[in-house]
Amino acid sequence: MDLAHVLHAFSNGNDGVYIGGCHLGECNFITHGNYHAVNMVLLCKRIMEHIGLNPERLRISWTSSAEGTLFHEYMNEFNKKIKELGPLGKSEGLDGEQLKSKLAEVIRLVPWIKLVKNEKLGAPLKNPEEYDRYFTKEEIDALFSEVPSYYIDPEKCQACMICAKRCPVEAIISAKQEVHIIDQDKCIKCGTCLEVCPSKFGAVTRMVGKPAPPPLPEGKRAIIRKNKEAV
Protein backbone atom coordinates (compact mmCIF):
# COMPACT_ATOMS: atom_id res chain seq x y z
CA MET A 1 0.00 0.00 0.00
CA ASP A 2 1.59 3.22 -1.18
CA LEU A 3 1.03 6.68 0.26
CA ALA A 4 0.06 7.90 -3.20
CA HIS A 5 -2.75 5.32 -3.41
CA VAL A 6 -4.48 6.80 -0.37
CA LEU A 7 -4.02 10.39 -1.50
CA HIS A 8 -5.31 9.57 -4.99
CA ALA A 9 -8.41 7.99 -3.42
CA PHE A 10 -9.18 11.23 -1.61
CA SER A 11 -8.34 13.26 -4.71
CA ASN A 12 -10.89 11.19 -6.64
CA GLY A 13 -13.57 12.26 -4.17
CA ASN A 14 -13.77 9.34 -1.75
CA ASP A 15 -14.97 10.47 1.68
CA GLY A 16 -12.94 7.87 3.55
CA VAL A 17 -10.28 5.21 3.04
CA TYR A 18 -10.22 1.93 4.96
CA ILE A 19 -7.18 -0.35 4.93
CA GLY A 20 -7.40 -3.89 6.26
CA GLY A 21 -4.71 -6.49 6.68
CA CYS A 22 -3.47 -9.52 8.58
CA HIS A 23 -2.70 -9.19 12.28
CA LEU A 24 0.72 -7.70 12.96
CA GLY A 25 3.34 -10.40 13.25
CA GLU A 26 1.21 -12.91 11.36
CA CYS A 27 2.05 -11.96 7.80
CA ASN A 28 2.64 -14.94 5.49
CA PHE A 29 5.35 -13.02 3.64
CA ILE A 30 8.77 -12.12 4.98
CA THR A 31 8.25 -8.48 3.99
CA HIS A 32 5.68 -8.00 6.77
CA GLY A 33 3.98 -5.32 4.72
CA ASN A 34 1.41 -4.61 7.43
CA TYR A 35 4.11 -2.92 9.54
CA HIS A 36 4.97 -0.73 6.55
CA ALA A 37 1.27 0.01 6.11
CA VAL A 38 0.98 1.18 9.73
CA ASN A 39 3.81 3.65 9.30
CA MET A 40 2.38 4.88 6.02
CA VAL A 41 -1.02 5.47 7.63
CA LEU A 42 0.52 7.31 10.59
CA LEU A 43 2.41 9.55 8.18
CA CYS A 44 -0.62 10.06 5.95
CA LYS A 45 -2.80 11.06 8.90
CA ARG A 46 -0.32 13.79 9.85
CA ILE A 47 -0.20 14.98 6.25
CA MET A 48 -3.99 15.08 6.20
CA GLU A 49 -3.94 17.25 9.31
CA HIS A 50 -1.36 19.50 7.66
CA ILE A 51 -3.58 20.19 4.63
CA GLY A 52 -6.74 20.53 6.72
CA LEU A 53 -8.40 17.11 6.36
CA ASN A 54 -9.80 15.16 9.28
CA PRO A 55 -7.42 12.19 9.84
CA GLU A 56 -10.37 10.07 10.99
CA ARG A 57 -11.25 9.69 7.32
CA LEU A 58 -8.41 7.17 7.14
CA ARG A 59 -8.45 3.96 9.15
CA ILE A 60 -6.42 0.77 9.34
CA SER A 61 -7.29 -2.40 11.24
CA TRP A 62 -6.39 -6.07 11.34
CA THR A 63 -8.42 -9.25 10.92
CA SER A 64 -7.70 -12.82 9.95
CA SER A 65 -9.56 -14.78 7.30
CA ALA A 66 -11.56 -16.42 10.11
CA GLU A 67 -12.79 -13.10 11.52
CA GLY A 68 -15.45 -12.13 9.02
CA THR A 69 -17.81 -10.94 11.76
CA LEU A 70 -15.13 -8.67 13.21
CA PHE A 71 -14.38 -7.26 9.77
CA HIS A 72 -18.09 -6.56 9.33
CA GLU A 73 -18.12 -4.66 12.63
CA TYR A 74 -15.09 -2.61 11.65
CA MET A 75 -16.65 -1.65 8.34
CA ASN A 76 -19.96 -0.68 9.95
CA GLU A 77 -18.14 1.48 12.52
CA PHE A 78 -16.09 3.18 9.84
CA ASN A 79 -19.11 3.73 7.60
CA LYS A 80 -20.92 5.36 10.54
CA LYS A 81 -17.96 7.64 11.24
CA ILE A 82 -17.71 8.75 7.60
CA LYS A 83 -21.43 9.54 7.53
CA GLU A 84 -20.93 11.67 10.65
CA LEU A 85 -18.05 13.53 9.02
CA GLY A 86 -20.01 14.12 5.83
CA PRO A 87 -18.67 14.74 2.32
CA LEU A 88 -14.93 15.15 1.95
CA GLY A 89 -13.85 18.70 2.67
CA LYS A 90 -17.27 19.96 3.76
CA SER A 91 -16.81 19.63 7.52
CA GLU A 92 -13.22 20.84 7.11
CA GLY A 93 -14.29 24.02 5.33
CA LEU A 94 -12.43 23.22 2.11
CA ASP A 95 -14.04 23.71 -1.28
CA GLY A 96 -13.52 21.16 -4.02
CA GLU A 97 -10.93 23.05 -6.05
CA GLN A 98 -8.93 24.07 -2.99
CA LEU A 99 -8.83 20.51 -1.69
CA LYS A 100 -7.92 19.04 -5.07
CA SER A 101 -5.07 21.54 -5.39
CA LYS A 102 -3.68 20.68 -1.94
CA LEU A 103 -3.86 16.95 -2.63
CA ALA A 104 -2.27 17.32 -6.07
CA GLU A 105 0.69 19.16 -4.54
CA VAL A 106 1.22 16.48 -1.88
CA ILE A 107 0.87 13.66 -4.43
CA ARG A 108 3.55 15.30 -6.55
CA LEU A 109 5.85 15.31 -3.50
CA VAL A 110 5.26 11.67 -2.51
CA PRO A 111 8.55 10.34 -3.98
CA TRP A 112 10.46 13.05 -2.10
CA ILE A 113 8.51 12.47 1.13
CA LYS A 114 9.23 8.72 0.99
CA LEU A 115 12.90 9.42 0.33
CA VAL A 116 13.18 11.79 3.30
CA LYS A 117 11.18 9.56 5.65
CA ASN A 118 12.46 6.23 4.32
CA GLU A 119 14.14 5.16 7.57
CA LYS A 120 11.08 5.80 9.74
CA LEU A 121 8.71 4.28 7.21
CA GLY A 122 10.76 1.08 7.20
CA ALA A 123 11.10 0.66 10.97
CA PRO A 124 8.50 -1.80 12.39
CA LEU A 125 6.51 -0.40 15.32
CA LYS A 126 5.74 -3.23 17.72
CA ASN A 127 4.14 -1.09 20.43
CA PRO A 128 0.86 0.71 19.56
CA GLU A 129 1.60 3.23 22.30
CA GLU A 130 4.24 4.68 19.97
CA TYR A 131 1.75 5.46 17.20
CA ASP A 132 0.59 8.91 18.29
CA ARG A 133 4.07 10.33 18.68
CA TYR A 134 5.86 8.54 15.84
CA PHE A 135 5.21 11.33 13.34
CA THR A 136 4.50 14.66 15.03
CA LYS A 137 2.64 17.70 13.74
CA GLU A 138 5.80 19.78 14.15
CA GLU A 139 7.81 17.24 12.17
CA ILE A 140 5.38 17.33 9.24
CA ASP A 141 5.09 21.12 9.32
CA ALA A 142 8.90 21.29 9.14
CA LEU A 143 8.94 18.72 6.33
CA PHE A 144 6.74 20.86 4.11
CA SER A 145 8.62 24.04 4.98
CA GLU A 146 11.85 22.41 3.77
CA VAL A 147 10.69 21.25 0.34
CA PRO A 148 13.66 21.81 -1.99
CA SER A 149 13.73 23.28 -5.46
CA TYR A 150 16.33 22.40 -8.10
CA TYR A 151 17.61 24.91 -10.62
CA ILE A 152 19.98 24.62 -13.58
CA ASP A 153 22.32 27.60 -13.74
CA PRO A 154 22.32 28.81 -17.37
CA GLU A 155 25.88 30.10 -16.92
CA LYS A 156 27.14 26.61 -16.08
CA CYS A 157 24.92 24.26 -18.11
CA GLN A 158 26.73 22.68 -21.06
CA ALA A 159 23.69 20.90 -22.54
CA CYS A 160 25.22 17.47 -21.97
CA MET A 161 21.66 16.06 -21.59
CA ILE A 162 22.70 13.67 -18.80
CA CYS A 163 20.23 15.11 -16.30
CA ALA A 164 17.39 15.02 -18.85
CA LYS A 165 18.06 11.36 -19.64
CA ARG A 166 18.19 10.37 -15.98
CA CYS A 167 15.21 12.38 -14.71
CA PRO A 168 12.59 9.76 -13.69
CA VAL A 169 9.60 11.97 -14.58
CA GLU A 170 10.95 13.76 -17.68
CA ALA A 171 10.78 17.11 -15.91
CA ILE A 172 13.80 18.56 -17.70
CA ILE A 173 13.32 20.42 -20.94
CA SER A 174 16.38 19.77 -23.04
CA ALA A 175 17.69 20.33 -26.53
CA LYS A 176 21.13 20.10 -28.09
CA GLN A 177 23.20 23.24 -27.59
CA GLU A 178 20.53 24.78 -25.37
CA VAL A 179 20.48 25.42 -21.63
CA HIS A 180 18.36 22.79 -19.91
CA ILE A 181 15.31 23.89 -17.92
CA ILE A 182 13.62 22.12 -14.99
CA ASP A 183 9.84 22.15 -15.24
CA GLN A 184 9.02 22.95 -11.60
CA ASP A 185 5.44 21.71 -11.99
CA LYS A 186 6.68 18.24 -12.96
CA CYS A 187 9.71 18.06 -10.66
CA ILE A 188 9.29 15.55 -7.80
CA LYS A 189 12.31 16.85 -5.82
CA CYS A 190 14.21 13.57 -6.00
CA GLY A 191 17.56 15.27 -6.59
CA THR A 192 18.62 12.97 -9.41
CA CYS A 193 19.62 15.92 -11.57
CA LEU A 194 21.95 17.20 -8.85
CA GLU A 195 23.52 13.77 -8.40
CA VAL A 196 24.20 13.10 -12.08
CA CYS A 197 25.31 16.56 -13.22
CA PRO A 198 29.06 16.24 -13.96
CA SER A 199 31.12 17.84 -11.20
CA LYS A 200 33.16 19.75 -13.78
CA PHE A 201 29.99 21.65 -14.66
CA GLY A 202 28.19 21.82 -11.30
CA ALA A 203 25.22 23.36 -13.03
CA VAL A 204 22.44 22.13 -10.73
CA THR A 205 21.70 23.96 -7.48
CA ARG A 206 19.50 22.79 -4.61
CA MET A 207 17.53 25.53 -2.87
CA VAL A 208 15.38 25.35 0.26
CA GLY A 209 12.92 27.93 1.49
CA LYS A 210 12.72 29.87 -1.73
CA PRO A 211 11.43 29.23 -5.25
CA ALA A 212 13.72 28.56 -8.17
CA PRO A 213 14.52 31.57 -10.37
CA PRO A 214 12.41 31.90 -13.51
CA PRO A 215 13.80 29.97 -16.50
CA LEU A 216 15.33 31.59 -19.53
CA PRO A 217 12.67 32.32 -22.15
CA GLU A 218 12.62 30.25 -25.30
CA GLY A 219 14.86 31.73 -27.94
CA LYS A 220 17.47 32.77 -25.38
CA ARG A 221 18.66 29.35 -24.30
CA ALA A 222 21.43 28.82 -26.84
CA ILE A 223 24.78 27.98 -25.23
CA ILE A 224 27.61 30.25 -26.27
CA ARG A 225 30.88 28.32 -26.23
CA LYS A 226 33.92 30.26 -25.11
CA ASN A 227 36.85 30.24 -27.53
CA LYS A 228 39.76 28.78 -25.56
CA GLU A 229 42.28 30.42 -27.91
CA ALA A 230 40.82 33.84 -27.20
CA VAL A 231 41.22 33.49 -23.44
Is residue 171 exposed (0-12), middle (13-18) or buried (19+ Cβ within 10 Å)?
buried
What pLDDT, on the 0 to 100 scale, is given for residue 143? 95
What pLDDT, on the 0 to 100 scale, is given for residue 226? 60
175 φ/ψ angles, rounded to the nearest 5 degrees: -155, 150
What pLDDT, on the 0 to 100 scale, is given for residue 30? 67
* Binned average pLDDT, 10 residues per bin, the chain of 231 residues: 95 96 79 87 98 97 91 96 96 93 94 93 91 96 94 95 95 94 92 96 93 91 68 39
Spell out the domain ranges in the chain.
3-145, 148-230
Q: pLDDT for 139-173, tens place per residue?
A: 999 999 999 999 999 999 999 999 999 999 999 99
What pLDDT, on the 0 to 100 scale, is given for residue 132? 93
Region at 80 (left for phi over 0; alpha for psi -120 to 50; beta for the rest): alpha
183 within 8 A of 173, measured Cβ to Cβ: yes
Residue 8's alpha-carbon distances to 37, 76, 95, 154, 165, in angstroms, are 16, 23, 17, 36, 28
d(CA 231, CA 221): 23
What pLDDT, on the 0 to 100 scale, is given for residue 21? 87
The pTM for the full model equals: 0.84
Please state which architecture CATH assigns to domain 148-230.
2-Layer Sandwich (3.30)
What pLDDT, on the 0 to 100 scale, is given for residue 60? 95
150 within 8 A of 189, measured Cβ to Cβ: yes
Q: Which of 22, 23, 25, 59 is nearest to 40 (CA)?
A: 59
Q: pLDDT for 214-225, tens place per residue?
A: 999 988 999 977
What pLDDT, on the 0 to 100 scale, is given for residue 195? 96
What pLDDT, on the 0 to 100 scale, is given for residue 227? 54
